[in-house]
């Protein structure tokens, strides 16, 4: 049995250990599903290449649909990474998104859905990168799982140290603004990994499409923890 199947079975058997990542209320809040693939003809390079325009577009979509949060992205082949050289490589650009994005306002609280400890953290300060990021380590009865939180506020890194205990449902961060979060409209990049492969404070959130099968073995679907309902425009 692979690690993803073990994780799914464990979480299904222990629903009480799963907390929230954001203050989403399924009885009062709606989710808007963002599509950042080539199929979305409404979002063009002129918009997503300009962070201010992109932010205005995101905010308008959420407002028009009366949604506090937008969501999307796991294993989505996206066009928007053309906005940054950070995702370019010589042979094949990185365009496949490996986590789930939760779009909301700067300052939105972020929580750890599982008990654990701080594995690492750093400010990945490149255009298009994570900006401030925190990685937590969780031990689920012998199964090690890591959770990554990217595009945070700089103050989210204050007071952290390697090995710091983190409680289930503890607030660990807030969403950063465009000036500090890697130059993106405010959102959380939430991702799970079984193996950090020696990396600290960073782990790829976007890969080459040709490497999808490799990364899928290490990166399970964050919906296993998020358990969000269907988005309003699904």
pTM above 0.85, yes or no: yes
CATH code of the domain containing 74: 2.70.70.10
Number of domains, the chain: 1
Distance separating alpha carbons of residues 94 and 39, to the nearest angstrom: 18
Whether residue 91 has pLDDT greater than 90: no
- pLDDT confidence band for 50 (50 / 70 / 90): confident
Judge whether 31 lies within some domain: yes
Q: What is the largest CA-CA distance in the chain?
A: 48
Task: Establish if 134 belongs to a structural domain.
Answer: yes
Asked whether residue 234 is domain-assigned, the answer is: no
Q: 23 lies in a domain?
A: yes
Chain segment 102-113, per-residue pLDDT in tens? 999 999 999 999
With a CB cutoff of 8 Å and minimum separation 6, the contacts of 48 are 36, 54, 57, 79, 80, 82, 83
pLDDT at 233 over 60: yes
pLDDT at 94 over 80: no
pLDDT, tens only, 121-176? 999 998 889 999 999 999 999 999 999 999 999 999 999 999 999 999 999 999 99
Does residue 110 sit within a domain? yes
Domain encompassing residue 98: 3-226
3 state DSSP class of 130: coil
- Cα distances (Å, whole numbers) of residue 72 to 84, 153, 190, 221, 231: 20, 21, 11, 11, 9
Which of 44-53, 83-92, 192-201 is predicted with the least confidence, judged by mean pLDDT? 83-92
CA distance 218 to 190: 14
Asked whether residue 231 is assigned to any structural domain, the reply reads: no
- Tell me, yes or no, whether 232 lies in a domain: no
> Residues 6 or more apart from 181 whose CB is under 8 A from it?
106, 130, 131, 132, 151, 152, 153, 175
233 located within any domain:
no
């Amino acid at each position: 049995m692979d690690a993803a199947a073990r994780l799914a079975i464990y979480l299904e058997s222990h629903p009480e250990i799963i907390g929230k990542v954001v203050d989403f209320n399924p009885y009062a809040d709606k989710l808007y599903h963002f599509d950042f693939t080539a199929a979305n003809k409404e979002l063009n390079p002129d918009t997503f290449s300009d962070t201010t325009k992109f932010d205005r577009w995101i905010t308008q979509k959420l407002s028009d649909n009366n949604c506090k949060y937008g969501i999307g992205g796991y294993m989505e082949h996206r066009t928007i990474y053309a906005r940054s050289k950070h995702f370019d490589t010589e042979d094949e650009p990185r365009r496949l998104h490996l986590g789930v994005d939760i779009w909301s306002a700067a300052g939105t609280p972020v929580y750890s859905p599982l008990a654990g400890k701080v594995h690492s953290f750093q400010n990945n300060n490149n255009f298009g990168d994570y900006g401030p990021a925190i990685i937590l380590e969780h031990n689920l009865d012998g199964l090690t799982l890591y959770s990554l939180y990217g595009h945070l506020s700089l103050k989210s890194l204050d007071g952290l140290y390697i090995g710091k205990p983190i409680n289930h449902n503890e607030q660990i961060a807030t969403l950063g603004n465009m000036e500090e979060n890697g130059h993106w409209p405010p959102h959380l990049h939430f991702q799970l990994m079984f193996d950090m492969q020696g990396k600290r404070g960073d782990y790829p959130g976007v890969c080459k499409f040709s490497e999808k099968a490799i990364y899928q073995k290490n990166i399970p679907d964050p919906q296993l923890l998020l358990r969000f309902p269907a988005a309003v425009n699904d």
